[in-house]
Amino acid sequence: MERPCDAESVVIEYIPGREKVPLLQIHGGADATIAYDGGPRRDECLPSIPHDVRTWAGLNNISATSNVSEPLTDNATGYQFGDGEEEGLVTHVYAGDEVGHSWPATIGNPDNGRNGDGPASFNASSVILEFFGEWYGRAQNDTETEYLEC
């Protein structure tokens, strides 16, 4: 007998090793491997991506409601959680309805070629470098961080 799976309320048991753990989640709507809406997979109940992101915001003691959403492109949207200096501590990028379980890039790559999707409307590498520069560069020193252009 299968257990019921509610992807919007499944208990997520994360135990962060410290307070204020930056999280960047990039996910596409056409991912058939780890569905954006969650659900049953390999005898487990996976959370929806929004539920997962809200849980991380709660673990970081910031609002579980995105206070900033902005289009990255016509197809991709960034959602930032947190206020003031913590704005963006938890960030979710919805890569678009057509992006599957592939590395988002504006040029074709072996990943999206293999998965039959892409190219995406943005480059995940640039988003990741900016995020890590912001959160992990800040942890190293409190000076402004220069970002790499990709």
DSSP string, 50-116: HHHHHHHHHHTTS-SS-SEEEESSSS-EEEEE--GGGTTSEEEEE--TT--SS---SS--HHHHHHT
Q: What are phi and psi of 29, to 5 degrees?
A: -75, -15
Average pLDDT over residues 119-124: 93
State mean pLDDT over 73-78. 95
Average pLDDT on 66-80 reads 92
pLDDT-derived band at 2 (thresholds 50, 70, 90) equals: low
Percent of the chain past pLDDT 90, that is, above it, reads 69
Average pLDDT over residues 116-137: 92
pLDDT of residue 138: 62
User: What average pLDDT score do residues 85-93 get?
Assistant: 95
Query: Per-residue pLDDT for 150 more than 80?
Result: no
Q: How confident is the model at residue 1, as a pLDDT?
A: 35
- Report how far residue 12's alpha carbon sits from residue 14's, in angstroms, rounded to the nearest whole number: 6
Average the pLDDT over each of 15-19, 91-95, 107-111 and give the range with the smallest value. 15-19
